[in-house]
Amino acid sequence: MDSSISAKVKEIITEKLCVTSAEVSEFASFQNDLGADSLDMVELIIDFEKEFDINIEDEEAAEVNTVGDAINFIEWKLRNPGKTKRFGLNL
C-alpha cells in the first residue's frame, strides 16, 4: 500500500465521518465500525473522486466496504486509469 494514499484516505474518512484516527484501521467497516450510512458513503466516494482525480462507478463503490477496500481500490484506479474494476474481473 502506498502510505501517502493510505494517509489521505484515512484523513478524508476521519473528517467526513467525525471519527478518530484510531478508529480508522484498514479492517474497519464503514457501516458497522465507523457508523457510515448510505449518504455518508456517497459523500466519501465523491471526496475520493475529487481528491485522487478518479471516477468511481456505482457498481465499484458498492464493493468498497472497509477502509482497506477503499485504499486498495483507489491505488488500483490510479494504476489503471480509465478501467473499470469489477471485483473478481478487471475490465
Residues counted in the chain: 91
Q: What amino acid is encoded at 6 in this protein?
A: S
Q: Which of 29, 38, 14 is nearest to 65 (CA)?
A: 29
Catalytic annotation, residues: 37
Give the 3-state secondary structure of 11-74. Answer: HHHHHHHCCCHHHCCCCCECCCCCCCCHHHHHHHHHHHHHHHCCCCCHHHHCCCCEHHHHHHHH
